[in-house]
Amino acid sequence: MPKKHYSPRINRFLISVLYHEAKRRQIRMTQLVDDLLRQSLDKSKGWETAQQARIAEDPSQYRVE
C-alpha cells in the first residue's frame, strides 16, 4: 500500500498571487512554487531532517565520493 502524503490547503489569495507571478515569469505555477520553496528552505533544519530521512529509506541511492 503506497504511503499517503500530506497536501496542505493554500489560501486562495496566495494561489492567485502564484498564478499571476508564474504568468508574468512565463513558467508553470508548479515550477514557481518549487523554486520558491527550494530557495526558502535550502539548508534549513527541516531540509536536513528530510534529507536524512530520505537517505535512511534508501541509502543505495546516496553514495559519498
- pLDDT, residue 60, reads 78
Residue 30 belongs to domain spanning: 12-57
Say if 7 falls within a structural domain: no
What letter would DSSP give residue 60?
A: G
For the chain, 65 residues long, the average pLDDT of each consecutive 10-residue run is 83 98 98 96 94 85 61
Q: What single letter denotes the amino acid at residue 64?
A: V
The total of structural domains in the chain comes to: 1
Q: What's the CA gap between 10 and 23, in Å, rounded?
A: 18
Length of the chain counted residue by residue: 65
DSSP state of 3: P
Task: Give the per-residue pLDDT at 64.
Answer: 55
Identify the sign of the CA torsion 32, 19, 17, 24: positive
Residue 41 lies in a domain: yes
Joined grid coordinates for residue 51: 534529507
pTM above 0.75, yes or no: no
